[in-house]
């Protein structure tokens, strides 16, 4: 590593971090997986520098991991060996271009979703993908992120047009175009989306933008049971109502939200909703949804149109992880991530609730239920081995059930370190072998984020 350090410091200067204290944050993430301390951290400011960094690492056979905001939950950016170089994209955070007439933005990978939307505020456009955390665009593409607005606007894959990628040899390639569709050969753009940095480092992205809605109405709606709330979601989707957000928080989640964010809402299963459109269109949507919910044990549908009220509701939702952890001082969180066809959603959540009750664990449930995705937040003391074992058993049972009904082991967090066995169970060994062959073809030395997705 000494030779590599000398090569990189010649053009990175103090943007090459070698001291232990400076490297320590890169061994951590929001998830419970613990990574190794990387040997070096590079902070490039240009595509050319990324190419040079990867070329130098490839010449030395050193592992390279791209790093965004550190919000991944399955150890996606964790080093598995000490001889690892982390490429931190925090200094590559420029918005290269906004083209309102084409509904397009071109951004560097270190741009955060909140930064992009702040810049778009005066254009009448916005970027809709909202995973909760203020993640970077590069990280969101690498994990094929989705979140609260997926039910209406799709995930990262649906909002991605083109990429610039630095390959394992340090070469720069372009995938996709600014055109809305293409049939030109293999779809390399979407091959890199969700590859978790194992096939190349994303250094620029061309994104689809959407028009800011004429009006936005948010709402909270308490229910007698989780089943009633989920049935309302399913019926709403089946009725063709274009709700922008449909989030479920169970009783434990609402208790944590109220304590942290002082919402003052009933502590029972609750839907957080959001509607986009014209005043007349939203009123019609609300009437349909209210009629459906009333037959499923819905309580008070409380709407909010003022920006401050809407922001307070969604801020509380986005801070649920930290609110849940605050309920058990000193605890860590293990967050599950299954997704099922919406017709099987009520059954999947009910099974999870039953297992949680039997285990005695504190584990709030949060769901992006409009697209069949939900999470269990296991809040666990680090040294409580029996509780971790219980959580692991519930997680495996949830995955097995999701797979048995045509679902997936991960709706948005990716495979990383945590779900490699689940991936094999989901798609089978032959399909995993094809992924491995693709990895070998694009990264013959195996230096890009080794140890992830498959062993």
Q: How far is 187 from 162, CA to CA, in rounded Å?
A: 10
Q: How far is 349 from 431, CA to CA, in rounded Å?
A: 29
Supply the pLDDT for residue 414: 95
Q: Give the other-Cβ count within 10 Å of 287's Cβ.
A: 11
239 and 294 in a single domain? The answer is: yes
179 and 164 in a single domain? The answer is: yes
Match 């150890």 to its residue by tokens: 75
Domains of the chain: total: 3
Question: Crossing angle of helices 251-261/307-318, nearest 10°?
Answer: 120
119 and 179 in a single domain? The answer is: yes
Question: Would strands 332-335 and 373-380 be described as parallel, antiparallel, or unpaired?
Answer: antiparallel
Does any domain span residue 246? yes
Best CA proximity match to 170, nearest among 70, 42, 22, 17: 42
73 and 140 in a single domain? The answer is: no
Alpha helices of 360-405 — where are they, by DSSP H?
A: 385-404
- Which of 90, 117, 133 is at the close of a domain? 90
Q: Are 391 and 375 in contact (CB under 8 A)?
A: no
Q: Are 117 and 164 in contact (CB under 8 A)?
A: no
Does any domain span residue 144? yes
Q: How far is 375 from 333, CA to CA, in rounded Å?
A: 12
Does any domain span residue 78? yes
251 and 298 in a single domain? The answer is: yes
Question: pLDDT digits over 297-344, tens only?
Answer: 999 999 999 999 999 999 999 999 999 999 999 999 999 999 999 999
Which segments within 1-82 are labelled E, that is strand? 16-17, 40-42, 63-67
Question: pLDDT digits over 240-253, tens only?
Answer: 999 999 999 999 99
Say if residue 29's pLDDT is above 90: no
User: For residue 13, how many C-alpha atoms fall within 13 Å in the half-sphere facing its CB?
Assistant: 1
Q: What is the CA radius of gyration of the chain?
A: 22
CATH of the domain at 274: 3.30.70.2190
Percentage of the chain lying above the pLDDT 90 cut: 94
Q: How far is 392 from 355, CA to CA, in rounded Å?
A: 12
Angle (CA) 52 54 59, round 5°: 95
123 and 155 in a single domain? The answer is: yes
CATH of the domain at 9: 3.30.43.10
Does any domain span residue 393? no
Question: pLDDT digits over 338-396, tens only?
Answer: 999 999 999 999 999 999 999 999 999 999 999 999 999 999 999 999 999 999 999 99
Supply the pLDDT for residue 454: 87
98 and 77 in a single domain? The answer is: no
Question: pLDDT digits over 211-257, tens only?
Answer: 999 999 999 999 999 999 999 999 999 999 999 999 999 999 999 99
Q: Are 247 and 367 in contact (CB under 8 A)?
A: yes
13 and 81 in a single domain? The answer is: yes
Supply the pLDDT for residue 132: 84
Q: How far is 359 from 380, CA to CA, in rounded Å?
A: 12
- Structural domain range at position 299: 213-317
Handedness of CA 93, 96, 101, 104 (dihedral sign): negative
3-state DSSP call for residue 45? coil
Q: Give me the torsion for CA of 191, 192, 195, 201, rounded to 10°.
A: 160
Does any domain span residue 49? yes
Match 């505020």 to its residue by tokens: 121
Say if residue 455's pLDDT is above 80: no
Does any domain span residue 100? yes
Question: What does each C-alpha distance from 412 to 69, 129, 313, 394, 409 come to in angstroms?
Answer: 16, 12, 22, 19, 9
- Which of 211, 243, 278 is at the close of a domain? 211
Say if residue 184's pLDDT is above 80: yes
97 and 73 in a single domain? The answer is: no
Q: What is the mean pLDDT of residues 35-63?
A: 97
Q: What are phi and psi for residue 36, nearest 5 degrees?
A: -80, 160
- Which of 289, 317, 345 is at the close of a domain? 317
Q: Are 340 and 370 in contact (CB under 8 A)?
A: no
Q: Are 108 and 165 in contact (CB under 8 A)?
A: no
| Confidence bin at 7 (pLDDT 50/70/90) | very high
85 and 121 in a single domain? The answer is: no
Does any domain span residue 105? yes
176: left (phi over 0), alpha (psi -120 to 50) or beta: left
323 CB-near residues (< 8 Å, 6+ apart): 256, 257, 259, 260, 261, 316
CATH of the domain at 110: 3.30.465.10
Question: pLDDT digits over 75-122, tens only?
Answer: 999 999 989 999 999 999 999 999 999 999 999 999 999 999 999 999
83 and 98 in a single domain? The answer is: no
Q: What is the mean pLDDT of residues 405-433?
A: 96
Best CA proximity match to 250, nearest among 322, 154, 346: 346
Which segments within 23-132 are labelled E, that is strand? 40-42, 63-67, 84-88, 95-99, 104-107, 125-126
Q: How far is 365 from 9, CA to CA, in rounded Å?
A: 47
Does any domain span residue 173? yes
Supply the pLDDT for residue 33: 86
143 and 203 in a single domain? The answer is: yes
DSSP string, 203-237: EEEEEE-EEPPSEEEEEEEEES-HHHHHHHHHHHH
380: left (phi over 0), alpha (psi -120 to 50) or beta: beta
Per the prediction, the chain carries an average pLDDT of 95
Q: What is the mean pLDDT of residues 408-434?
A: 96
Length of the chain: 455
Angle (CA) 300 304 306, round 5°: 160
């Amino acid at each position: 590593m000494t030779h590599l350090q000398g090569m990189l410091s010649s053009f990175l200067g103090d943007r090459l971090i070698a001291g232990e204290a400076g490297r320590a944050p890169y061994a951590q993430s929001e998830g419970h997986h613990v990574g190794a301390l990387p040997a070096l951290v590079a902070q490039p400011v240009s595509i050319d520098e990324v190419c040079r960094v990867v070329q130098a690492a490839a010449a030395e056979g050193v592992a390279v991991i791209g790093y965004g905001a550190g919000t991944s939950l399955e150890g996606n950016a964790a080093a598995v060996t000490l001889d690892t170089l982390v490429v931190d994209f925090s200094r590559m955070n420029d918005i290269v271009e906004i083209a309102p007439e084409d509904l397009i933005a071109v951004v560097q990978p270190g741009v955060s979703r909140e930064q992009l939307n702040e810049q778009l505020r005066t254009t009448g456009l916005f970027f809709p993908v909202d995973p909760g955390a203020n993640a970077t665009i590069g990280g969101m593409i690498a994990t094929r992120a989705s979140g609260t607005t997926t039910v209406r606007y799709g995930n990262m894959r649906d909002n991605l047009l083109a990429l610039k990628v630095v390959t394992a040899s340090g070469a720069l390639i372009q995938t996709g175009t600014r055109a809305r569709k293409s049939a030109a050969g293999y779809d390399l753009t979407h091959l890199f989306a969700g590859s978790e940095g194992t096939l190349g480092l994303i250094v620029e992205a061309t994104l689809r933008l959407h028009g800011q809605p004429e009006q936005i109405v948010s709402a909270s709606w308490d229910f007698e049971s989780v089943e009633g709330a989920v049935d309302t979601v399913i019926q709403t989707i089946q009725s063709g109502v274009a709700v922008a957000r449909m989030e479920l928080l169970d009783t434990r989640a609402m208790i944590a939200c109220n304590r942290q964010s002082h919402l003052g809402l009933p502590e029972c299963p609750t839907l957080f909703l959001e509607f986009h459109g014209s005043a007349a269109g939203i009123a019609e949507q609300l009437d349909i949804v209210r009629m459906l919910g009333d037959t499923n044990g819905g309580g008070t549908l409380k709407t909010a149109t003022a920006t401050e009220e809407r922001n307070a509701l969604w801020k509380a939702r986005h801070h649920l992880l930290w609110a849940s952890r605050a309920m058990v001082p000193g605890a860590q969180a293990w967050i599950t991530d299954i997704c099922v066809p919406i017709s099987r959603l009520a059954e999947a959540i009910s099974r999870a609730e039953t297992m949680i009750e039997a285990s005695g664990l504190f584990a709030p449930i949060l769901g992006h239920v409009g697209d069949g995705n939900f999470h269990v937040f296991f809040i666990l003391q680090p040294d409580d081995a029996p509780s971790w074992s219980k959580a692991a058993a519930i997680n495996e049972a949830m995955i097995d059930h999701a797979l048995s009904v045509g679902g997936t082991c991960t709706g948005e967090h990716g495979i990383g370190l945590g779900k490699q066995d689940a991936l094999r169970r989901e798609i089978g060994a032959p399909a995993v072998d094809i992924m491995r062959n693709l990895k070998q073809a694009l990264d013959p030395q195996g230096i890009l984020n080794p140890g992830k997705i498959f062993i």
